[in-house]
Every structure is written in structure tokens, then in C-alpha cells.
Structure 1
């Protein structure tokens, strides 16, 4: 494919509530992000993606928007955002915002008018259906649990919410609603925004029969995904969205596109695809059978993870570009999820994961705190959780027959709060995040895992991430590591994940032992140069490398 500017970017995802609090109210804010731009610049990132900062009652931490054109006061003001744009620009850092257009908050003026005045045009901006014999219109279960339908007071009508009941879905069948959305998007892009990460975009189209399906749980409901995610007809909405907004700007668009099959990727990220790139969750969700059913755990193996990564890379490479990640605001911490032996949930394990994903073909995304190896917490009560999906999954686990202890364990392992705990800047009170009590309890390991200590330690994970970024973006090997082809190495031991990045005159191999066992791998050549390594030295014996637990390295093969 033709080279695009966004293929070279290194994106750093910021969860604004938890990044840095500048006014000591316990909540992170826009000025806190501005304060840390020099830190991000030193790390080497080139773009930040900021989770929603729009006006919102914060039921789903900003993914329930009540005003697309204004900033939530807890984050600051539009003037603060302008200053962030100005500061980031001085450091050569671009800014991408979240775009949430599948649903709004129930406190959005459109929805309030739709509820208060059934005859208004805004009733058709959302999805309302009559009940059936005093019951909801069908048996679909929302992503966060419970029915997708919420009854309208004093009417035999229900409105649809694929997510929380305070997040009513917009009706994209309505062309007037679509035009309002396009106008809003173009307004943001005209401000100089680099682009958008687009939330839950594959849910825009709903099957218009709104029929029930056989129940798949003891609650008598069935997941709504079969009728609301990536459904036939969505292509009309996505083509129009691109044509009337993104195509007018040289912007980047990153789709959160669950439910997209590999044989559909050309439509999404091909030469004329809807988006620049998409996230593929097939390997990220390896620890559960379903991303929304946390009690359905899997006992995954490295070989299974390897196959999922290889399948993803090969499918993406055929048609376009991907967004490489191991953490985000909806996932648990990678070191806690992927490093099974807790002894290695440290620099060694975290750096192995870094090498594993960072050099895949695609634009790398780093989630805040990932660069210092932040880990999952363990809460001892469901009352300690803020995340609405954690609370819903706890209740669903109980309905499925699990004990309170088992249900709490599922939630601790998978809670979205794991990556939403405040950023750990130093070892002082509240981890340097705020002088006030943070909105969400800290992980109690901040005294040993924090930015300040790792800046001072030349052998820290933070500096390792700086080295990875430099190797990919600013070294003599950058052309191969950014634009080179991906080739899977399928002949290794089951605990090893190895692949190549290949250009016309260069072959670079990435090798990761994702286990706590010693393993061996045979190289194509013993004439190699080690470009990056997470142990002190390489144990090379001819063409054989003896890999220690969670050992990872990037090597240039001088003979192919």
C-alpha cells in the first residue's frame, strides 16, 4: 500500500480522568495533560489519543456524551484544550480525540426533548418501540447486562440502549440525525485535530425486524450482538460518514470495530476503506470466551496466542494497516494478563510483551502506565469498583451460579478499572497524581512502580520503551520496522513467538519466549546483530539461541 503519514506514528492513549490532576480536585484534567507533554515528548511518542473529554454526566466515564461541542467542566474548558493543542504542536505531537456516535447520554438535549415531547423530531433521533403485552419489544441483552430496552415513563414505549440505560442509541436510519453528526465531526476536524479513534462503530446498524432470538443465559435474554453489531447495511452509513467528513481532511481514523471478520477487512481498511486502521480484538480477548462475559474464562496457551497474532497480521497485511496494542481503557493490564507466572510480572515480563507487539506491522499504541509496567489491582469488595461493566458482570456471574468470591475474582481479573487507576508518577502520597483523594483508588504498588523512579534508573522499563520507540522510528532500521512486510515464523517451539519484518535489503527477526521455561530457537544464520534485548546478553551457540524465561530480542540477520 502507499505510505501514509499515520503509519509512522507512535500513539499514546490518555485516560484523562486518571492521567494528571492539575487543580487538586482528585480528577485528572486537560491542564494535567499539558503539564506532561514534555514527559511524553521525551518518551518519543508522536500523537496522543485522549478518551472523551466532552460534556457528560460520566456514567460511563465520558462515553455518555451530553454535549458534543463543549468540554466537561471537570476536565477544564475549550480554552484549556486550545492551549493543549498549542503546547503539543510546539513539541511536534498530534492530538486525536475519541468519537462516540453510536449513542449519547440520556442527558443530551436531543434525548431530553425526545422523552418530553413524543411529537418532536428528536423522537426519531433515537430508537423507540412499543412494548409487547407489557414487556419489552424483544429479549436482547445489552453489552453491560440486562435488557437493551428501558421503559419510557407514562408510555407503552421503550428506548433501545446497546450499552447502559443512560446511553440511548442514536437512530442512524434517520438522515437528518446523520447530518447533525457530520456537522459536529467536521467542526472538530476544522480545529486542527489529527483525527479520531471511533468508538463502537460497528453497532450503528440494527436489524430492522427487532425480533427475539433463543435465550443464551438464565436471565432469559440473548446477547444483542447478533442483531446490532456489524449488520448488513452498515456499509451505507460508514461510506457516507467517510465521504462527508474524513475524506475532506488529511486525518487519521482508528475504528473500534468488534465483529468484523477478516474477509471483510478490505471494506474497512482497504484502499477505499472506511478507516485508516482498526483495532483487532481477537488476540486481546484470548483470556475470555467473550469480551462481555467475563465469567467464561479460558486457559489459553502461548501457541494459541501466537496463532491469533499471526492470523491477525496476515489478514491485515493483505489489505491495509492495523493498530497494534496490548492495553487500553477497556482491557486489564497486559503484564497481569499475559505473564502467567507472577515472578516475571516485572521488567522482564513487561519488556517481553513490549517487544512482542511493538514491532508488528501497524501503528503501535501505548496506554498510559504501560511504559512503567503498571499492573492489575485486587479489590476485596464489589463496592470498590466504579466501572459499570464490572458491576454488571458481577451480577451476571451470580446469576450464572458462581459464588460471590468467584464473581469478584472474575471482575478483579478483567475489570476496566484495572487500567483506569491513577497514573503513578512518583512514590509520594497519591502517587503524584493529585494532592486530593483520587476519584478512583490507586493501585497500592505505586511506591515501587512509578515514573520518577524509572527515570532515575537507566535499566528501567520506561527507558526500554524509549529504546523501542527510537529503534522503530529513528534508527537505520526504521524503514523495515515500519513499512517492511510481516512474515510469521511457524517452525518454533510452542512457547516461542517469532516473526520477521522484511524489506528489499533487510531481514529483522523478533523473538519472544512467552513462558517461564528455558527454550531454544534455531536461526537462519549465525551472522546476526542484536538490535534490542531484554536480558544483559545473548546466549548464542552457533545458530542456536538458548532463551531464558520471557527473554525477548530483536535481531538483524546479515545472511538470509
Structure 2
């Protein structure tokens, strides 16, 4: 959509392709399945879709272990199917964003195999290091999943670095040939009509080439860590393995490769420096937006919301979200699972001062179903089973209809679909009071009535957050007790009559 500039704070709908809709009976969602439901997504009132990886992959980490960045996984379709998807989205006025995973590839990628073999062209494509004299790893760095970030390769007799699993070796992004490859990848997809990119693990792209040990995290640093701290990664101050020195400046490369018109949003996985780094990434025309894990991992409390605002010098350039393919669905984690609280969270997002990320199914008020260990393939969930983050549960396929396999597939779904009756899109579509229709109303209100989302003033009073915009005044009551308000609200997540109930939000237009 080259003639339409991006909104300053777009609403972006994330689709996990394997779990959206299957058109072949394979039990795995595909690109044509996404295309078949784009009208539904457009009617939700979003500005863009973001597609999680659909590339060839051995699926050791949910498709984020990519073997070829410029192809489509055969189980998900073809490049022709992708082109059709983009064309249909644009016809509906919806922009298309795709994941760009530049931190690493799969160990099955041809680049890595050639690097292992010391092919002169690919020898330096990845991060290799000699062992210490005693054969141990080069330093104390840990992968973000917890185990050491170095894996021995007996053919090269060196260790390779990986921020995540050992199936995802980190690319050497300071290598000029690697940079040329990544530029080609971005331009390949831009030429196919892609409007923007979500940059996976953007804070992991560069590290200190001296490979210094990370120091222990001080109590002050650990206090800033979002989520559970049973993962040993949180015990370090990531001074040397997260965007040191020239790391923020490197983001300009991504902007140059994608072009000025592309929307770039980065995932910040730095833990204890999250909001600070997010703000630096969007400065000086780098990323269009960046988002952290603080709000969902801290269970979307008033304190977590205020902490992000307090640490941000420009909340309009942050991404606001609650659920994703990587996080337990928020309605059962931060809420009580009720439709009432689903509406509250919908209004929280619809009134956020920056870009909004909505994950497929949250508009139905889905509460994450439990999965048996035998069904789980996610490496992080299995590493800490049964106490892992529940990433795979967030990927249970979408319930389009009632009965059978819920309109997702005519075959056996790749994950069990244990959804309650009456939750499906087909039922909620015709129920005026459904969570789905509240999402539609809230997003339409954001687009039509709130307009300028420059946050003029905000304040927190206990469990209540108040936001002041040029055209609107918002009150979010995160607590259980009702609070007094004045006048009839123009939009509210629950009925108000002089008071705003607990776990409810409302907006007044000026």
C-alpha cells in the first residue's frame, strides 16, 4: 500500500499461521487459510496483520528456527499463495507485516552447514569462539531460556553462540556479507508488497566482541526484571551480550534496508533494561516502535502500566500488548477469565498511547487451555515442565465454529483444541454483547474518535490509571473497588452510573 502512510499508532493483529486456519485437511494452518479469513480480520478494525514465520523450518522452536528466509514452508503454501494473501489484504485496506528473524538461523540452514565446514565464504557467518584452555565455554553468557549460550561443534572444534536454543546459532551481524544477505531478504519481501516488519529479538542482534563475562545482576537490576526469575538468565546484568556500544546505531541498517515507508517494530527481550532500550531503539528515525514484555509478564497491573509510562520518554513509540505466541493468554493469567474482564483489557489496549498488538483469539476472550505434555513441542515449555511459560498453549488453533474441530480443519489439528462451547467466532459474531463485538466497537472508537494519541498527562492513584489525550480522557480501574466518575462515558467496558466498577475502563470525549 505505497500511497497510504502508516498511522502514527497502528493496531496490528498477530497471526500464528500454523494455528489460524487449515484449508488442506493437514491439521496445520496455511497461508490460504489466512487469506480466507482476512475479511473477518479487517472487520475487527485493525490497520495491519503481522504474520509469524511461515518459512521453511525444522520447527524446533515454533518456526523461529529458519532454514530459508526467502521461501514458504511447503506445509503452509507457496510464494504464489503469499502474493495472493498480500493482494487480498491490500484490497481490504489492511497492511501486511512479517517476522524478520535476523538474530539467528536454524542449524539446518545451508549457511550454517557451510560455516561448520569452514567454507571460506561462510566461515565467519556465525559467532564461533575457541574454548578456554580447559575446554570449557568461552564465557559465562547464558541463553535466554537458561542453559549456557554456547554449544560445542566437534567438526570445527569450536563453540557457537546462541541466544536461544542450540538449534538456533547466532549470526555474525557485523560481517558485511551477512549484512548484504539480510538486505536482500528485506528487499525481496518489500518487492512482494510487504508493508513492514516485526524484528524478532531486536536487542539480541549485537554483543561485545571482546566476549567479556556478564557481571552478576545487582538487587536494583533484578528488581526491574519482568516475569518469573527462576530462569538463571535473570541473575546476570546483560552488559555485554545485549546491544552494547554500537548496537543501537546498528538499527539504522534495518531502516535503510527496509526503506523509509516500512513500519518497523522491534521485540525487546533484554529483561532488566527493557523500557530504556526500547526508547533508544525508536530514537532518531530507527525503529517505528518497540515493545517489551513488562506489561504481560507483570500480569497487567496498574503498577506495571505506570512503571512503563514512568520509564518511557515517549510512550507513543512503545508497542502495547497482552498476549502473543510467546506468552500465556492474558485473560486467565492477568484476569479471571470472564467476558467482563476481557472487555476491560480490550479497552486498555484500545486507549493505549502507542501501537497496539492484538494476538489472534484474544478478541474472542479466549482463556488458555491446558495441554498434556505429550502434545507439547515447545522447547521452553518442556525445559521447565510443568512450570514453563505455556507458550504452546497460546498456539492452540483458532475456534471458528462450534463442533468437531471448530472450523479450523477437516483433519486432526496439530494441537488439541479443548475450547468451551459458545466461544467460537461464528457464535460471537451474531451476539451483540460478545467480547468480539466489544473489540470491534473499541477499535472503531479508537480510530474514529480518539485520533491524536499524544499523551498529555497521566497519573496513578492506587489501582486507577488516568490518561489525558487531546480529544479524550480515559480512566482504567485495575482494582476491585468502584471509583467515582463524572458524566456519562462515551465508551466503557462495563456499565457506569456515577461510579466506574472495579476491573473496568471508560473514555470521555472532550
TM over 0.5: yes
Query: RMSD in angstroms over aligned alpha carbons?
Result: 2.5
Label 1:77 to 1:220 Cα distance change in 2 as closer, same or farther (>3 A).
closer
Alignment match, 1:292:
none
Alpha-carbon shift at residue 139 of structure 1 (Å): 2.8
Any idea what SS the aligned residue of 2:296 has?
Answer: coil
Label 1:286 to 1:218 Cα distance change in 2 as closer, same or farther (>3 A).
closer
CA offsets 1:309-335 (integer angstroms, 9 cap, x no match)? 4325x5224xx5222211111111111
Matched, 1:316 2:314: yes
Alpha-carbon shift at residue 165 of structure 1 (Å): 0.7
Alignment match, 1:358:
350
Alignment match, 2:375:
384
Any idea what SS the aligned residue of 1:499 has?
Answer: strand
1:287-306 aligned at under 5 Å gives the runs: 287=299, 302-306=301-305
Alignment match, 1:80:
81
1:417-456 aligned at under 5 Å gives the runs: 417-442=392-417, 444-456=418-430
Alignment match, 1:254:
265
Alignment match, 2:184:
183
Alignment match, 2:478:
514
Matched, 1:330 2:302: no
Give me the whole-angstrom Cα distance separating, in 2, the residues matched to 1:326 and 1:337.
10
Label 1:19 to 1:261 Cα distance change in 2 as closer, same or farther (>3 A).
closer
Name structure 2 gaps, 5 residues minimum: 218-228
CA offsets 1:108-132 (integer angstroms, 9 cap, x no match)? 11101111x2252212000111122
Alpha-carbon shift at residue 452 of structure 1 (Å): 1.0
1:145-544 aligned at under 5 Å gives the runs: 145-213=146-214, 225-243=238-256, 245-246=257-258, 248-259=259-270, 262=275, 267-270=280-283, 272-287=284-299, 302-311=301-310, 314-317=312-315, 321-339=317-335, 342=336, 345-379=337-371, 381-394=372-385, 408=386, 410-411=387-388, 414-442=389-417, 444-474=418-448, 477-479=449-451, 482-490=452-460, 492=461, 494-501=462-469, 503=470, 506=471, 508-515=472-479, 517-521=480-484, 523=485, 526=486, 528-535=487-494, 537-540=495-498
Label 1:224 to 1:329 Cα distance change in 2 as closer, same or farther (>3 A).
farther
- For the Cα contact (< 8 Å) 1:189–1:249, is it kept in 2? no
CA offsets 1:485-543 (integer angstroms, 9 cap, x no match)? 342133x3x23233222x2xx4x22223223x33223x4xx4x34211223x3221xxx
Which protein is bigger by CA-based radius of gyration? Answer: 1
Paired residues in the alignment total: 492
TM-score (norm 1): 0.82
CA offsets 1:371-395 (integer angstroms, 9 cap, x no match)? 000112224x53332211111233x
TM-score (norm 2): 0.90
CA offsets 1:339-388 (integer angstroms, 9 cap, x no match)? 1xx3xx21100101111222111122211001000112224x53332211
1:35-54 aligned at under 5 Å gives the runs: 35-54=36-55
Name structure 1 gaps, 5 residues minimum: 288-299, 395-407
Alignment match, 2:221:
none
Q: Which has the higher strand share?
A: 1
